[in-house]
Structure 1
Amino acid sequence: MNGRIPTSVLRAAAKQARVAMTRKYSSPQGLGAIGIAAFLVAIIWFFRDADFMDAVGAAAYLFAGFLALTVISGAMLTIASEIQLERESGTLLRAKAIPHGITGHLLAKLMSVPVELAIAVVPMLIGIALITPEALPSGAGRWVVLVATMLLGTASMLPWGAVLGSIFRTMIGMSVAMLVIYGVTAVSGFFFPVTMLPGWAQSLVQLTPIYWVGLGLRGAMLPESAAAVEIGGVWRSELTVLVLVGWAVLGLVLATVFLRRMARRQSGSTVAAARERVMARGY
């Protein structure tokens, strides 16, 4: 084994990603993404004339927070829940029976995530451009930085979604994990300046990649003056890049370990046991 992925596997993964996205976005579940975007834009419109600590407009700040939340949800939580469900439904077991099946299945998910994030973000961008265009980045350079930061944030979150999906074996366990992650998100500066928290809480949130995803997107979108409400009064762009790259590398290493262990443990008996548990308990 030379560690290279055959071209046929890449083609199959691309086809699988295309079919999965076509099914998803031609269903009410996929179309609901537009409704969510409209709801978030309405919230931003409500705060269009407000400011945070007289230093940054609330509309622009909240928009950056919603973009960061989209990255967290799409790149980590969606992948985690899909892997957990597919393990119980037998999808991963069927993929395991095919040469490079697990690899191709996961590659399909990695290919689809950036497209799905774009589908979630574009309606928000259109809405913001119509109601409060000053909340959008100014200049082509800032747009390039924004896109690059979103891709880096996605890369840092994706492997952790795979880790979560491999660790939690039941939907109730996954639901608890998601609640914890949303709780961390709520206090990581997405919707209000993190400097409003006590010093010990500020130190704790900086230990998570979630905080740095939000900081990176705020730094890409907001003016320099908005850094006044951040820790240290600066954006810390270089440190943000290093931290997110570090989390991405660590996540890739752990995801490889956990996914291989999960694949080894997949069998017909484990899938049958999961189905019996769901029928008996409902989860």
Structure 2
Amino acid sequence: MSPQAVAVRAGLQRARIELRQSLGNGQELWSVTFFPVISLTVMFLLRHSTVPGTDFSLGAHSVPGILGMTVAFNGMMALALSLTMDREDGTLLRAKATPNGMVGYLTGKVLCRGGTAVAGLLIALVPAVFLFEGLELGGVSSWLTLAWVVTLGLLALLPLGAIVGSLFTSAQGVGFVTLPMMALMGVSGVFYPISALPEWLQWVAQLFPLYWLGLGLRSAMLPQTMAAAEVGESWRHLETIGVLGLWAVAGLALAPFVLRRMARRESGSAVAARRQQAMQRMA
């Protein structure tokens, strides 16, 4: 077995262990479910409001977008945060010092965060099916669409998480990315159809993978008639595949370069300096 294959195998074991620990930890589990719980509660209170031009519940219409944001936060943002925290405590430096250690480390991290994102989606999906009327998940085609949309969405978002985590040296720095993420959430159709927004905002939203992930999830979970509320009055599956695929290819091409550059800068003195800064913040 080649050294790279051994490293990947070690990464698979690492992912299994970390995923089991994450889902068995109450605090970690709450961080995974916090956003969907709050968002679903708000939209449940608005369930009697309707999507403009239809009699369909605005709350039910927002569920797929909320699940998409759950995937984004528990996948992309959590991976970025994990990388910065591991840089601060020296875990990344130890992985760098081990032959093919970065391969195993990144394999484990990416699979763990991807598994956590899927788990968070399913945890939120189960109560949503009972709380909101109009969701359609009874057919095989709905679950197949859900599977390929989530898979392609993770391929588009996880490399971005690795890039963001490589650009910041502290968890506080990653926290600033949350602000534009929340702004993007507001224009990406998570809580309200973007077809009701100004045209220039619609174009902005369609540049980013979050909108297309939400659109794909809506196509899997909502009645076909609700496509009329979307841009172009269609679910646009081909466009969804194209845009998410482009983001995935670009991210997978750029992430290794950024990660290698970040790893080269890791040293014992850099870790010690970050620890000193962290102690000063706590003092």
Give the TM-score normalised by the residue count of structure 1: 0.91
Letter in 1 for 2:50: D
Q: Which residue of 1 aligns with 2:85?
A: 85
Deviations 1:127-182 (A, max 9, x none): 12333353243411111111111111111101000000001123332111121112
Deviations 1:67-112 (A, max 9, x none): 1101111221000111011111111001111111111011002222
- CA distance in structure 2 between the aligned counterparts of 1:247 and 1:35, rounded to whole angstroms: 27
Which segment drifts farther, 243-252 or 66-75?
66-75
Letter in 2 for 1:43: V
Q: In the alignment, does 2:217 pair up with 1:217? A: yes
CA 1:13–1:116 in 2, change beyond 3 Å: closer, same or farther? same
What secondary structure is seen at the aligned counterpart in 1 of 2:235? coil
Aligned-pair Cα RMSD in Å = 2.1
Letter in 1 for 2:244: L
CA 1:34–1:77 in 2, change beyond 3 Å: closer, same or farther? closer
Deviations 1:182-241 (A, max 9, x none): 211121111101122211111122222222222222222222221222222222210110
**Distance apart, 1:44 and its partner CA:** 4.0
Which segment drifts farther, 80-89 or 203-212?
203-212
Q: Any residues of structure 2 matched to 1:59-74 within 5 Å, and which?
A: 59-74=59-74
**Distance apart, 1:41 and its partner CA:** 4.1
Q: Which residue of 2 aligns with 1:10?
A: 8
Q: Any residues of structure 2 matched to 1:108-123 within 5 Å, and which?
A: 108-123=108-123
Aligned residue among 19, 23, 28 for 2:21 = 23
- CA distance in structure 2 between the aligned counterparts of 1:83 and 1:54, rounded to whole angstroms: 45
Which segment drifts farther, 60-69 or 20-29?
20-29
Q: Which residue of 2 aligns with 1:167?
A: 167
CA 1:7–1:80 in 2, change beyond 3 Å: closer, same or farther? same
- CA distance in structure 2 between the aligned counterparts of 1:108 and 1:174, rounded to whole angstroms: 20
CA 1:39–1:198 in 2, change beyond 3 Å: closer, same or farther? closer
- CA distance in structure 2 between the aligned counterparts of 1:209 and 1:39, rounded to whole angstroms: 23
- Check the 8 A contact 1:79/1:165 in 2, yes or no: yes
Q: Which residue of 1 aligns with 2:189?
A: 189
- CA distance in structure 2 between the aligned counterparts of 1:133 and 1:123, rounded to whole angstroms: 18
Q: Which residue of 2 aligns with 1:234?
A: 234
Deviations 1:16-41 (A, max 9, x none): 11221232223222231456554444
**Distance apart, 1:255 and its partner CA:** 0.4
- Check the 8 A contact 1:40/1:124 in 2, yes or no: no
Letter in 2 for 1:7: A
Q: Which residue of 2 aligns with 1:151?
A: 151
What secondary structure is seen at the aligned counterpart in 2 of 1:153? helix
CA 1:175–1:204 in 2, change beyond 3 Å: closer, same or farther? same
- Check the 8 A contact 1:59/1:135 in 2, yes or no: no
- CA distance in structure 2 between the aligned counterparts of 1:12 and 1:66, rounded to whole angstroms: 34
CA 1:229–1:46 in 2, change beyond 3 Å: closer, same or farther? same
- CA distance in structure 2 between the aligned counterparts of 1:136 and 1:88, rounded to whole angstroms: 45
CA 1:46–1:176 in 2, change beyond 3 Å: closer, same or farther? same
**Distance apart, 1:45 and its partner CA:** 3.1
- Check the 8 A contact 1:90/1:271 in 2, yes or no: yes
- CA distance in structure 2 between the aligned counterparts of 1:135 and 1:282, rounded to whole angstroms: 47
Q: Which residue of 2 aligns with 1:125?
A: 125
**Distance apart, 1:281 and its partner CA:** 3.3
In structure 1, list runs of 5 or more residues that go unmatched: none
CA 1:142–1:164 in 2, change beyond 3 Å: closer, same or farther? same
